A and B are shown apart, each in its own frame.
Chain A
Amino acid sequence: MPHILFFSRNRSTSVEHIDRSSAKACCRLQDSLMDALVEIKVKLPDLELTNVRAEVHRSDRAISAEAVESLRKAIGIRIGPGLLKIMKGLVGDREDLSELLNMLDECCQGVILSFTKDTLAKAPEDREKAKEYYAWLVKENVRLYDSCIAFAPDSPLVDGMKPPKGNDE
């Protein structure tokens, strides 16, 4: 068979910190079936959604204006653990909205990652010092332990560290 793509997808999420009290995130999805955009505005430091806007330019399935408008039910919730579950609960776990909800989630994840980036950017260049820095991060934050292979119990980054009690999520 010729190596021609049958289906392709681009998903781009960007985050802008507008000022000290607000941020904006935008997710644009373009694939063979859909072209849509979801934009959120977030109040800082609470990470509360103050605005949600969606546009569907092209889709293989019917998505009504009412359905798109229903995304605004997410306004008022705060970005935090269990966010997608809360959003699905508020907006409704409907098939025609599933991708828009994913995009809303991508926006929120982007906001979180924009802060995560700052923490990671402080890691020293020197390999040994970097190890110390990551080990310090794990000690400071119970959630990080065993959250990925870098912080798994047998990783040198958590060498000698007792498993934090209660860290099973």
Chain B
Amino acid sequence: MLKFMRNKVVGIERKDEDTLQAYGVLEDDIYAVELEVSIGLSDMVIRSIQGRFKRWTTPECPKAIPVLQQAVGFCALEEGFSQKVQKKIGRKGCRHFANLLVECCATAEQAAGLIRGRKAERVVAGSKGPGGTMQKEAKKHPEKSFEETRAARSEDRGGVVIDLHVHTYPASACSVARVDDVVVEAKRIGLDGICLMDHNYVWDRARVDELKRRHDFLILRGNEITTDQGDMLVLGLETPIQGIIKLDELRTMVSEAGGFIIAAHPFRGFLLFGSGQLGLTPEKAMERPLFKQVDGIEVLNSKVTEKENRFASEVAKGRGLPGTGGSDAHQVSDIGLYATRFFSKITSERELIDALRGGRYEAVAFKKEKDVF
């Protein structure tokens, strides 16, 4: 017997010389919604939109209908159109309307291509990067004076607490936190250091050294890399990785570089259910091949539920892998929600990797412990 079915039907009518009218229906076991969208043929801009719910779940769902008007003016040819719809119509309104709107516009685009006798070409967006391009080769740069300062401070405290998972803008497009603001906040709440873990982005060493000196603060470089087995926090790898890489290939590269791999948020679930509800047990999860390839597991991450963090912790214990903590901050207020307390001083990236290998550390709910918000 079928467990779930979704049908989407879209019809495109040419209303006049420069207008396509899309009529779409999405009906599945959970929702039934309809959309009528008027789209300019010459520019593929949404001119008007109307929506109706036929079936929905929560009493609040119908409030999503007025939100649809925000889509007026969106251009279906724009780079990132689908993500924009998910964000503005899905997150602020209803995800099912967003899904159907994307389908209506994609269908209209096909129709427009036929009418014009050619496929519509997508606008190519410019490249991004914080203050420059991706670093190709690490530059040698002394850290001496900073290291000396940090060493003295670490010895006083007998260890350091570092947020090992921080994203900044524009290095990570999904972040809204500028690196200077991140450092100011990290110092304010009493962290000893942060590790920049921007997505598939290698920070320039000289740039980070300049930040460290200017802020007199420990800033380390890592890289969150998406693999076929999920996201990995990688330390000690200078080679930029673009796109998706197989975990076994990444393992080889990181081993050759003398680096360290941490499985990031390995049990991040879905909107309405998590690993537990699927019947996944820690014992079963431990068998996943990925846990044979990594050096550690992130057991405290602020983007997953407490249950998922506990689950990761159980798997780490079961596999005999060390557990780390990091906020996965994408905004300044997230910094330090979770961190890793090391019981030895750390003043450089090499010392961080050595400390991670040594295993003398623990994941901590830093802000909660210190009661700083």
Contacts and interface: CB of A to CB of B under 8 A. Distances in A.
Contacts of B328: 166
B111 interface: yes
Nearest to B373: A165
B228 interface: yes
B331 A148 contact: no
Given A86-B228, A115-B273, A140-B305, A149 B6 contact: no
Contacts of A85: 226, 244
A157 B58 contact: yes
A166 B334 contact: yes
A12 B288 contact: no
- The SS class assigned to the A binding surface is mixed
Contacts of B246: 90
B124 interface: no
Most central of B1, B230, B367 by chain A CB within 10 Å = B230
A16 B107 contact: no
A76 interface: yes
A86 B244 contact: yes
Interface in A154-169: 155-157, 165-169
Most central of A4, A12, A110, A113 by chain B CB within 10 Å = A113
A11 interface: yes
Interface stretch (A40-48, A50-58, A64-72): A40-48
Interface stretch (B91-99, B144-152, B348-356): B91-99
Contacts of B268: 80-81
B6 A113 contact: yes
A76 B228 contact: yes
Contacts of A88: 244
Contacts of B11: 5, 7-9
Contacts of B329: 166
Most central of B92, B176, B280, B303 by chain A CB within 10 Å = B303
A37 to B, nearest CB: 15
Contacts of A80: 230, 268, 270
Interface residues of A, number: 73
Contact of B5 (A5, A15, A17): A15
B3 A45 contact: no
Contacts of B95: 147-148
A14 B337 CA distance: 40
Interface in B79-99: 90-95
B273 A45 contact: no
A20 B280 CA distance: 11
Interface in B230-283: 230-231, 243-246, 268-275, 277-280
A151 B91 CA distance: 9
A134 B59 CA distance: 10
B324 interface: no
Given A6-B13, A31-B107, A168-B334, A130 B92 contact: no
Contacts of A13: 5-7
A112 interface: yes
A63 interface: no
Nearest to A146: B91
B6 A110 contact: yes
Interface stretch (B61-69, B178-186, B206-214): B61-69
Most central of A45, A156, A167 by chain B CB within 10 Å = A45
A149 B63 contact: yes
B272 A77 contact: no
Contacts of A90: 228, 244, 246
B14 A130 contact: no
A94 to B, nearest CB: 13
Interface in B19-34: 20, 28-30
Contacts of A4: 13
Interface in A122-148: 123, 127, 130-131, 134, 137, 140-144, 146-148
A134 B9 contact: no
A149 B64 CA distance: 6
A36 interface: no
Given A5-B12, A6-B12, A45-B284, A112 B3 contact: no
B303 to A, nearest CB: 6
Most central of A10, A116, A142 by chain B CB within 10 Å = A116
A110 to B, nearest CB: 6
Contacts of A119: 272-273, 277
Given A6-B13, A15-B5, A141-B274, A120 B305 contact: no
Most central of B268, B271, B305, B367 by chain A CB within 10 Å = B271
Given A46-B284, A88-B244, A117-B29, 6 more contacts: A4-B13, A9-B103, A32-B111, A90-B246, A113-B6, A144-B272
10 contacts: A7-B110, A12-B6, A17-B3, A31-B110, A89-B244, A90-B246, A113-B6, A115-B278, A155-B60, A157-B60
Interface of A: 1, 3-17, 20, 23, 31-33, 44-47, 76-78, 80-82, 85-86, 88-90, 106, 110, 112-120, 123, 127, 130-131, 134, 137, 140-144, 146-152, 155-157, 165-169
